[in-house]
A and B are shown apart, each in its own frame.
Chain A
């Protein structure tokens, strides 16, 4: 091995790049989660067609609006030159995933809001006046099936775009061999879907067990109106199980891609295989975040054990750890 010394010691760059801390992972996690929520919502809105009152969990969009805003705040916190943030919206840089992202974020808001308006709660702790107005819009929309379909499509499309973007954002960095793979798009998309499903499952269970999550009560009021919650849970569990299986497959493909890739990619893979991020990746993501939930859910579905919220919680944590590990390990991966 060559002896190598450098006088460079730039903060955030040397000895290992550390320009992104917790903020970006949080942003990517919530972004993916919301993407998942939008896709689920969009899918059900479309499926229910003209019988919207049968939509199984109508408050996902409202939840999405809130989580997305939290995510964008995390992103904002990461900016080193916050006062200039508005510069993002003075231009569209076609080659910049960041630029795409900032515009996508802007565009998914209307879709989410529209979907939220479709299913306003019957009662809210406060602001009844506002609710009544929203209900009037809702009614107006319900009278227009094509509009409903458009909203469904917008959420489906917006969700997919958002989910893939959170992966492309990292995947596009040719300088970081660990990230530099198109497969990160689908990976984050399905990870997003699984976390979304997990979240809904969690809420369903939590509210069923009557624990005092006021918000969840509100959010899920409609679910119990039409549908037997256990049935609902099953759907979510199945959905989650399938998303997780796909996610696992993609993770596998991604690793194989790295290992069969160029020298620098193999070196990058080393960070997860025996390197400093091995524990986080295998323990936090593969085992706790995907493997264990799959097993538990299988046992739940086949009725060997009773339903718990544990798999859902594991999936959510795993989803975040995935971003955390990838963002940190990716920064540590380099060319020279």
Chain B
């Protein structure tokens, strides 16, 4: 089995949002919606502030509440890599999964179904990187298999301090941020 994950180096990310535009065009995300987004968090105080910039999206959680609460099985874990997906045909638009996601990573698509980041599984299955990763001008995004100790995501998590979002929510997020 494989465990697909994203590792993003906040030391390099400049918050340019290329990852967001690329997602929009690649996945025909409707205008006014986004599957990924940029967060800027400033700590400390002038003249010694600290800035962390993050490209955020669905975390493809190990124990995804959005899947558990889905009454139709539309929200499911993909057979490969633990990717969390929404089957548009099964989705009735009850929005339970939206309420269930502590990261607010989902939204209701104008077509009625719920939508969110797919880890670009359609590209990954062709041996391509997710769109956002493939365009990032700072090469700060990495994608691969955590079950493969030799993948660069595994190596990075071994060699660099990192954190994920809302660990206390107990969802086991698989988008990791190097700090």
**A and B touch in their complex, CB below 8 angstroms:** yes
CB–CB A87/B90 < 8 A: yes
| B residues less than 8 Å from A336 (CB atoms) | 102-103, 165-166
B113 CB–A CB distance under 8 Å: yes
B5 CB–A CB distance under 8 Å: no
Interface members, chain A 8-32 (any B CB < 8 Å): 8-14, 17, 19-20
A121→B20 CA distance, assembly (Å): 64
CB–CB B112/A81 < 8 A: yes
Q: Which listed residue, A6, A14, A19, A175, touches B169 by the CB 8 Å rule?
A: A175
- Which candidate, B37-45, B124-132, B135-143, B148-156, is the interface stretch facing chain A? B37-45
Contact with A along B54-98 (1 / 0, CB 8 A): 001000000001001111111000000000000001111111101
Known: A7-B17, A80-B108, A88-B72. A19 touches B98 (CB 8 A): yes
Q: Which listed residue, A9, A17, A83, touches B32 by the CB 8 Å rule?
A: A9
- The residue in chain A whose Cβ has the minimal distance to the Cβ of B53 is A5
A228 CB–B CB distance under 8 Å: no
- Which candidate, A50-58, A92-100, A143-151, is the interface stretch facing chain B? A92-100
B99 CB–A CB distance under 8 Å: yes
Question: What is the CB-to-nearest-CB distance from A247 to chain B, in angstroms, rounded to a whole number?
Answer: 24
Known: A11-B107, A19-B95. A99 touches B71 (CB 8 A): yes
CB–CB A4/B39 < 8 A: yes
Q: Which listed residue, B20, B33, B99, touches A176 by the CB 8 Å rule?
A: B99
What total of A-B pairs shows CB separation below 8 Å? 153
Known: A11-B107, A19-B108, A81-B93. A175 touches B99 (CB 8 A): yes
CB–CB A17/B41 < 8 A: no
Known: A93-B72, A102-B71, A174-B169. A84 touches B38 (CB 8 A): no
| A residues less than 8 Å from B68 (CB atoms) | 95-96
Contact with B along A248-260 (1 / 0, CB 8 A): 0000000000000
Question: What is the CB-to-nearest-CB distance from A138 to chain B, in angstroms, rounded to a whole number?
Answer: 36
A331 CB–B CB distance under 8 Å: yes
CB–CB A17/B104 < 8 A: yes
Question: What is the CB-to-nearest-CB distance from B54 to chain A, in angstroms, rounded to a whole number?
Answer: 9
Chain B interfacial residues counted at CB < 8 A = 48
CB–CB B93/A335 < 8 A: no
CB–CB A3/B38 < 8 A: no
A101→B96 CA distance, assembly (Å): 13
CB–CB B69/A95 < 8 A: yes
A88→B71 CA distance, assembly (Å): 6
A179→B47 CA distance, assembly (Å): 41
A90→B91 CA distance, assembly (Å): 12
CB–CB A175/B101 < 8 A: yes
| B residues less than 8 Å from A78 (CB atoms) | 94-95
Known: A17-B98, A99-B71. A10 touches B34 (CB 8 A): yes
A310 CB–B CB distance under 8 Å: no
A273→B17 CA distance, assembly (Å): 38
Known: A12-B107, A175-B102. A4 touches B69 (CB 8 A): no
CB–CB A334/B102 < 8 A: yes
Q: List 12 A-B contacts (CB under 8 A).
A: A19-B99, A80-B93, A81-B93, A87-B91, A88-B72, A88-B92, A91-B72, A96-B71, A98-B96, A172-B69, A264-B168, A336-B165
Task: Give chain B's interface residues, CB within 8 Å of chain A.
Answer: 17, 20, 32-34, 37-43, 56, 65, 68-74, 89-96, 98-104, 106-108, 111-114, 165-166, 168-170
| Given A80-B112, A102-B71: 15 more A-B contacts, CB < 8 Å | A10-B32, A10-B33, A12-B107, A12-B108, A78-B95, A79-B93, A79-B94, A91-B73, A93-B71, A173-B69, A175-B169, A334-B102, A334-B104, A335-B102, A335-B169
Task: Give chain A's interface residues, CB within 8 Å of chain B.
Answer: 2-14, 17, 19-20, 78-85, 87-88, 90-91, 93, 95-99, 101-102, 172-176, 262, 264, 330-331, 334-336
